[in-house]
Amino acid sequence: MNTVLLHSPALIVGLPIFAAILLMVVSRFGEKVRAVVFFAGIALASLAAISLAEQVLSLGAVRYVFGAPSPAAPLVPPDSGGIPVRILFHVDAAGALMLLVAALTSVAAALYALRSEERASGREYFYPLFLLLVGGVYGMVATGDLFNFFVFLEITSLAGAALTAYRIDHGLAAEAGLKYAVVSTLGGLSFLLGVGILLARHNLLNMAALGARIDLAGFGVPEAVAMALMIVPLAMKCGAVPMHQWTPDTYSRAPAPVSAFLLVSSQASLYGLFRIGFSLFGLSMDVSTVGLFVVILAVLSMFIGVTMAIPQHDVKRLISHHAVSQTGYMLLGAGVCLAVLGDPEKVRVFGRDALAGSLFHMMNYAVYNGLLFLAAGAVIYRTGTRNLDRMGGLGRTMPLTMACFGVGALAIAGIPPMSGFASKWVLYESVFRYSPLLSMVAMVVSLLTLASFVKVFQAMFLGPQRAAYAAVRDVPAAMWGAMAVLAVLTVLLGLFPDVVMQRLLLPAADALINQTAYTMPLGGAQ
């Protein structure tokens, strides 16, 4: 058991990838074996991730050095001449939060996929790709190495693009996949260029060591260019305006479980953005300018996302536009915290809460927006249409799906007692201290979200029953079971926000704000 705990940082990435490869070998033994290997891979990786997160939250940050005689080996091997060549995973409280989110959502999405993709062909490719996507996301949130982050970013992009296009859909899904792949490739190359500039300047790839080094050497023009080259693609990957155009296309064309997990991969990009903004450059750059920039992006995302969502008729497209708007909330809290990072007093009064609220919203969003995608996917699974105008009266025949969708819709609109209310409340309160106007904008957007989801709920589940869907039944047990898991989580997170806040979110926020706890001057590591 201790060995498993010791190696859990490697297992979270190793297990999904091993399962993906095993699937290629055992795919000839039939569907049952394949499904078992797939689900076992996801579930075991989740267990490893949860135990790792527990370990981090109770005992402090974990470092895991790869390719060394022991996981606790120093970053600089004795015979390397002082060059830190080793790759390591570095999980602190913020990473633990992301691990928990990914673990819970991946199990639900995988459970759902077992049934929802049953009728599709080519499952021998679907399962390995999904496993790669999950492994890539775990890698992104666990890694402590910039180039490693790029590799995992590309793994998630590739797997995500292939999964998006997986149901070719008369070329429409392929178009969405191409769009996602082109955007991610350009973004990935930009990120790589940024990493290259930092490497050329400082000869380091380790984020912790690099953060300390940049603090020491000063923040010059090359660092500023590198930061822009790294932050812009990550903002794009998490779907912030003005680079959000890919989100509705990709999320709406991907199969429902894939959309639900692609949300988490966007969250992982957002986590990368936070990590780079706070831990890598937070000590040295002009935080108030960058913070203000993030806040502006956030307000634009919130507003443009919701206004684009209202006129939509395609249910998944509508939810995708809301995803852009919800990303705005997360950027808002983080932007406010970043903007006041230079002033410890302000950080103590509201900056820390703003960041914690933003992380809380990240967690909730992954759960309830995933739930919405799964529920919408369930309706599409049974009715075969994604057009809201052609649905109606499904509440009588699909009550479980209706209940789950209702929970998700209440949460995204920020109605108590759902989780969305709790995180939005924390955000309103803390952002109000920074600028009351921003808080008002956030509330107005929340109202618009509510209006939009009242319309959707009415169009899908209420009204007269349609003859065409009279014989529709509720979805199979695995599918509504997956939805129920996320729905229960949504309610629980809303009912006990204090526990989550104290145990998980404030440590995570502190891990980002206290850069010196993360950064590690090389002298100390040797």
Exposure on the CB side of residue 480, measured as CA atoms within 13 A = 15
- C-alpha dihedral sign at 30, 32, 35, 38: negative
Q: How far is the CB of 403 from other proteins (least distance, A)?
A: 31
Which residue stretch of 45-53, 60-68, 375-383, 472-480 sits at the interface with other proteins (rule: CB under 8 A)? 60-68
Q: What are phi and psi of 79, to 5 degrees?
A: -100, 20
For other proteins, the binding residue among 44, 199, 403, 517 (CB under 8 A) is 199
Q: How far is the CB of 475 from other proteins (least distance, A)?
A: 26
Four-CA torsion 256, 260, 263, 265, nearest 10 degrees: -100
Measured in whole angstroms, the distance separating CA 17 from the mean position of its chain's CA atoms is 19
Counting contacts by CB under 8 A, is residue 174 touching other proteins? Answer: yes
Four-CA torsion 302, 495, 399, 446, nearest 10 degrees: -20
Q: Are 274 and 512 in contact (CB under 8 A)?
A: yes
Size of the site for other proteins (CB under 8 A): 53
By C-beta, is 185 or 465 nearer to other proteins? 185
**Torsion-angle region of residue 382: left (phi > 0), alpha (psi -120 to 50) or beta?**
alpha
Q: How far is CA 43 from CA 6, 32, 152, 282, 450, in A?
A: 18, 16, 20, 36, 34
Binding mask 215-254 for other proteins (x = CB under 8 A): ----------------------------------x---x-
By C-beta, is 68 or 292 nearer to other proteins? 68
Four-CA torsion 297, 301, 303, 306, nearest 10 degrees: 180
Binding mask 129-148 for other proteins (x = CB under 8 A): ------------------x-
Q: How far is the CB of 221 from other proteins (least distance, A)?
A: 15
Cβ neighbours of residue 437 under 8 Å, at least 6 residues apart? none
Counting contacts by CB under 8 A, is residue 181 touching other proteins? Answer: yes
Q: How far is the CB of 6 from other proteins (least distance, A)?
A: 9
Q: Could you give the angle at the alpha carbon of 457 between the alpha carbons of 452 and 460, nearest 5°?
A: 125
Beta strand spans in 75-142 (E): 88-91
By C-beta, is 172 or 415 nearer to other proteins? 172
For other proteins, the binding residue among 196, 406, 481, 521 (CB under 8 A) is 196
Q: How far is the CB of 365 from other proteins (least distance, A)?
A: 24
Q: How far is the CB of 277 from other proteins (least distance, A)?
A: 23
Which residue stretch of 198-206, 216-224, 345-353, 484-492 sits at the interface with other proteins (rule: CB under 8 A)? 198-206
Q: Let me know how many helices (H) and strands (E) the chain has, helices first.
A: 22, 2
Rounded CA separation 111/172 (Å): 26
Q: How far is the CB of 218 from other proteins (least distance, A)?
A: 20
R_g over Cα of the chain: 22
Q: How far is the CB of 477 from other proteins (least distance, A)?
A: 32
For other proteins, the binding residue among 161, 273, 309, 362 (CB under 8 A) is 161
Q: Are 139 and 11 in contact (CB under 8 A)?
A: no
By C-beta, is 185 or 288 nearer to other proteins? 185
Q: Which helix (DSSP H) or strand (DSSP E) does residue 64 occupy? A: strand 62-65
Q: Which of 224, 89, 103 is nearest to 145 (CA)?
A: 89
* Footprint on residues 65-124 left by other proteins (CB under 8 A): 65-71, 73, 83, 85
Q: Are 371 and 418 in contact (CB under 8 A)?
A: no
For other proteins, the binding residue among 5, 33, 54, 185 (CB under 8 A) is 185
Counting contacts by CB under 8 A, is residue 276 touching other proteins? Answer: no
Q: How far is the CB of 154 from other proteins (least distance, A)?
A: 5
Q: How far is the CB of 22 from other proteins (least distance, A)?
A: 7
Give contact residues for other proteins (rule: CB under 8 A).
Answer: 7, 10, 14, 17-18, 21-22, 24-25, 64-71, 73, 83, 85, 147, 151, 154, 157-158, 161-162, 165, 168, 170-172, 174-179, 181-182, 185-186, 188-189, 192-193, 195-196, 199-200, 205, 249, 253
